[in-house]
């Protein structure tokens, strides 16, 4: 079940018969394509992630974030494709705009959702942290490639911390 905009009325509607598997496959394909053409990630994605996570591990603040048993159970119940879609939605709504009125406070610190924990752990929680940790400047709209990169970083952290493997 997904929401879509009615082209005639402009109102939001629920699409009860949307193919979530097809949507997940499309999202994965878009993310992979964006990462392949991203200037942010080199051809050796795993090495880039390893370097990033090594740097993040040096931060006492970043390294204190973790997935608790409730987070891990949620990931297991929903599956990584659903978590990836949640991450993409959160990034698009909370991080991608050029101007965010509550920047620095838009990502909950508590264990509300595993993606929020991952955002803090990876320095993807606000535009200031994105600039500091990932050299993505604030004050402008995030590109699709940058959004895909952020989702990939978040998902890699979640996979590593949840024991779900470390593929990209």
Residue 35 lies in a domain: yes
Per-residue pLDDT averaged across 137-150, rounded? Answer: 95
Residue 69 exposed, middle or buried by CB count within 10 Å (0-12, 13-18, 19+): exposed
Could you tell me the pTM of the whole model? 0.72
* Residue 115 forms part of a structural domain: yes
Tokens of 162: 């949840």
pLDDT at 40 over 60: no
Does the pLDDT at position 74 exceed 90?
A: yes
Number of domains making up the chain: 1
Assigned domain for 168 exists: no
125: in domain: yes
Is 80 exceeded by the pLDDT of residue 42?
Answer: no
Q: Return all residues near 31 (Cβ < 8 A) that are at least 6 apart.
A: 84, 88, 148, 151, 152
Question: Per the domain annotation, does 25 fall within a domain?
Answer: yes
Range of the domain at 73: 20-162
Q: Is residue 8 part of a domain?
A: no
Is there a domain that residue 10 lies in?
Answer: no
Phi, psi of 37 (to 5 degrees): -100, 5
Distance CA 63, CA 123 (A): 10
48 found inside a domain: yes
User: How many CB atoms lie under 10 A from the CB of residue 121?
Assistant: 26
pLDDT band at 37 (very low <50, low <70, confident <90, very high): very low
């Amino acid at each position: 079940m997904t929401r879509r905009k009615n082209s005639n009325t402009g109102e939001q509607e629920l699409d009860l018969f949307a193919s979530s598997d097809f949507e997940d496959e499309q999202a994965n394909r878009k993310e992979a394509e964006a990462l392949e053409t991203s200037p942010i990630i080199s051809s050796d994605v795993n090495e880039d992630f390893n370097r990033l996570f090594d740097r993040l591990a040096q931060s006492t603040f970043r390294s204190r974030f973790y997935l608790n048993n409730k987070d891990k159970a949620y990931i297991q119940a929903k599956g990584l494709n659903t978590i990836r879609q949640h991450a993409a939605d959160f990034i698009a709504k909370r991080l991608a705009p050029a101007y965010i009125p509550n920047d620095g406070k838009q990502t909950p610190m508590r264990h509300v959702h595993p993606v929020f924990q991952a955002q803090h752990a990876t320095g993807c929680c606000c535009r200031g942290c994105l600039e500091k940790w990932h050299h993505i400047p604030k004050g402008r709209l995030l590109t699709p490639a940058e959004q895909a990169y952020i989702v990939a970083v978040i998902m890699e952290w979640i996979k590593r911390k949840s024991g779900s493997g470390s593929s990209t």
